[in-house]
Amino acid sequence: MNGIKTAMLLAALTALFMALGYMFGGTGGAGIALIVAAGMNLFTYWNADSIVLRMHNAREVDARSAPEFYAIVERLARNAGLPMPRVYLIDTQAPNAFATGRNPENAAVAATTGLLSMLSREEVAGVMAHELGHVRNRDTLIMTMVATIAGAISMIANFGLFFGGHSDNRPHPLAAIAAVVMAPFAAMIVQMAISRTREFGADKAGAEISGNPRALASALAKIAGPAAHLPNPAVERNPATAQLYIVPSHVSELFSTHPATEKRIAALMAMGGGGTAAAVSVPRAGAAPKRSALDPNRLH
């Protein structure tokens, strides 16, 4: 099923790419856009994970450089019946995590140092189990390809506004401005068509892999607010990368590719044997987080 979704999403984004090419360059522009899109799809299939990790300045760690964090991922990968993914850390205060890679054999998971310093060991395990849920459900290919292609759509829209076509076939300025505004919006709508159910699926898989749905619910409650407000340079440079994360980063709920965090918490609490979202402890604004079970001095 995910293979069909991937093909449909990439076809829609390719069509949008061609429409922009036609608007700014006529039939020839549409043909060039098709060639570029085909090449981009092929390139991102093999390299999207590396592109996304470089966007975030992620650094790979192992059992020597980050023993506690690496051991958590290693245990969860065994629980999930998955090959051990590559493990990365991102040096930023914004608490978040994501998974990438075209298949389970070529997967990688990444977490920010902000996430590790904010959460307990059990909560970190819940978050990374969610990311391994994406790997097991084979969501990571579509997530990473969309992040790069949707970003390219925004780029070509802005490029075409200033350099598209000759004077006789250049689009009307108002039409060009509309394309610049609407093309990224249309790409986002295409993403949203499948992304929200995908997150519920990864939450469920993560609860099964970690065996502790309440810890994942607690982690979501703690990181949702800070992730939305703390600076995230990668998202500011390329907003399409926001859909990679476990919680939205700098995106309003209306335009988020994720379901509301409260709904995700409620579903996890139901899996955990009862309780409500209100039962999950959320730190007060400005309150100092509890010390993480992961020693920050052993993350480098």
Kindly tell me the burial class for residue 298, based on how many C-beta atoms sit within 10 Å of its own C-beta (0-12, 13-18, 19 or more).
exposed
Catalytic hit among 60, 105, 123, 131: 131
Tell me: is residue 258 an annotated ligand-binding position.
no
Taking the C-alpha atoms of residue 298 and residue 295, their distance in angstroms, rounded to an integer, is 6
Kindly tell me the burial class for residue 159, based on how many C-beta atoms sit within 10 Å of its own C-beta (0-12, 13-18, 19 or more).
middle
Q: Amino acid identity, residue 60?
A: E
Tell me: is residue 134 an annotated ligand-binding position.
yes
Q: Are 193 and 243 in contact (CB under 8 A)?
A: no
**Is 131 in the active site?**
yes
Helix, strand, coil in percent for the chain, rounding step 5: 70, 5, 25
**Helix, strand, or coil here: 87?**
strand
Taking the C-alpha atoms of residue 220 and residue 124, their distance in angstroms, rounded to an integer, is 10
Region at 223 (left for phi over 0; alpha for psi -120 to 50; beta for the rest): alpha
Which residues does the annotation place in the binding site? 130, 134, 199
Binding site, annotated residues for Zn(2+) = 130, 134, 199
Report, as residue numbers or ranges, the catalytic residues: 131
